[in-house]
Amino acid sequence: MLTACVLCLARKPTLVKMAQLLRSPLLSSAAIRSASTGTLEVKEPLNFWGGGRVKPLSSSNAEPVYEPATGHVLCQMVPCVDEEVDQAIKSAHSAYLKWSKMSGMERARVMLEAARIIRERRDDIAKVEVINNGKSITEAKVDIDVAWTCIEYYAGIAGTLAGQHVQLPGSCFAYTRREPLGVCVGIGAWNYPFQIAAWKSAPALACGNAMVFKPSPMTPVTAVMLAEIYAEAGVPEGLFNVVQGGAETGTLLCHHPMVAKVSFTGSVPTGKKIMEMSAKGVKPVTLELGGKSPLIIFQDSELENAVKGALMANFLTQGEVCCNGTRVFVQKDILPKFLEEVVKRTKAIPLGDPLLDGTRMGALISRPHLDRVLGFINQAKKEGARVLCGGEPYVPADPKLKGGYFMSPCVLDNCRDDMTCVKEEIFGPVMSVLPFDTEEEVLQRANNTTFGLAAGVFTRDIARAHRVVENLQAGTCFINNYNISPVEVPFGGYKMSGFGRENGQVTIEYYSQLKTVVVEMGDVDSLF
């Protein structure tokens, strides 16, 4: 015990030094607006707690973060160590004690102000998102709109949170209280950095919680911008904190005794580890994991819409979307026409500088990930699939993009259910097309997967559409459309795609707990 106390005392000067906050913005509006592809460099610290950015204890373990479109170093990501994680969580807990005592309407006003600031700065945030993530500016602007809409939506719910009154026999009654959990941890993914931070923080804050958010180490920047916006909007200092790092930092967060809940978006293997670590503290978890979702196109479908739906189901964000409908089942009678149209449109997708308005597909997140996706295509060819278009590294004409992580979007034909490209999540712009004959057959094949995140069906037969959706083993289903995720409706999966939900009213239940209070107004009826 004495040794432990001595160690604690020895750390105190370091912690005081760490607590020096940087209140200036991570990036000025002028710096963002003057930036172009390959020119932005972020040199400021990327950790945020206690109402400001915090310099890391040490930069010796810094990792370079690359701009996907150019391969240039965008910034250095310094993972948080145990002392820093501890301080971020304690800062969040102090803020939680204040925030949780505010009324729902008071919290709503602050959240609405945050939504307003995001809406006002949408173009700047989207630009930084593109530079850090590689997706097209057109998509990034939609992502930022979804983010502020989500915060606005949960601000509207904050003031409606209430319990229930239950009259019991005689002079006895009971009521319930919906109460916050405390400090929640959000662990984000690199495909939707800002949007996921909003999706996790908005319901958490609406319920009266605080959040410590860890972005992906490959996209560390825009979550800090969200933290600055919450602070500017007027949340208590420390309510939304950002800690940087990879698996080690995530482990520290999951094990910390002051963390009440963990919400994770990412891969199945990592999700299993987070579930295991959180279980040791009996912490509730929300897991939004991978998918290998089926898109079923019947012969009576409106072909134009089916083709557009298949493109939306496969090529948003360079195919790096967990709920993508990458197994495209097409009824045999329309297969030749479908392939002709989908290949023609896939070949016409404009690739290149993601900051240009005309670009529809940008760069993949990293060189290793690009190589992994291309490896899946090579494996598919070995197993007998036929590449109808794309599937190769792409080098844009613009010299500054020569080092970027681009590839041409790919359509695979002659696929079978037992192929690697059909069974495993590729997470890139690769569409696998499979023929089918009957509804019964395709349902069995569609459900023959360990995943269950999403599914879709195109048909003009409304009875068939609802019948098929009823029998699809997936948490999010689409009829005659795909990859539409309004914040008003829940999103989440079945089976190994995770559990819990994000968005919609039901998510309040995952960020709050119910207390039952039984009241006796008369005498106690005792057996003793």
Decide: 354 and 384 in contact? Cβ < 8 Å. no
* Alpha-carbon gap, residue 149 to 153, rounded angstroms: 6
At 289, list the tokens. 């994991």
CB 399 within 8 A of CB 353: no
Q: How far apart are the first and last CA of the chain?
A: 46
Q: Are 202 and 57 in contact (CB under 8 A)?
A: no
Pairwise CA distance, residues 256 & 277, whole Å: 10
Numbers of helices and strands, H then E, in the chain: 16, 21
- Give strand ranges (E) for 355-449: 386-389, 410-413, 430-436
| Residue 50, beta-bridge partner list | none
Q: Whose CA is closest to 323, among 475, 142, 489, 453?
A: 453
Could you identify the residue written with the tokens 């173009």?
123
User: What is the rounded distance in angstroms from the CA atom of residue 29 to the CA atom of residue 34?
Assistant: 9
Phi, psi of 342 (to 5 degrees): -70, -35
**β-strand pairing of 63-66 with 73-77:** antiparallel
Q: Which residues, 6 or more positions from 308, have their beta carbon under 8 angstroms from its beta carbon?
A: 345
**Torsion over CA: 240, 241, 246, 251 (sign):** negative
Among 505, 501, 506, which Cα is nearest to 285's?
501
Q: What DSSP string describes 384-414?
A: T-EEEE--SB---SSGGGTTS--B--EEEES
Candidate list 129, 228, 288, 320, residue with the active-site label:
288
Query: Are 390 and 412 spatial neighbours (Cβ–Cβ below 8 Å)?
Result: no
Q: Is 288 known to be catalytic?
A: yes
Do the Cβ atoms of 89 and 183 come closer than 8 Å?
yes
Catalytic center residues = 288
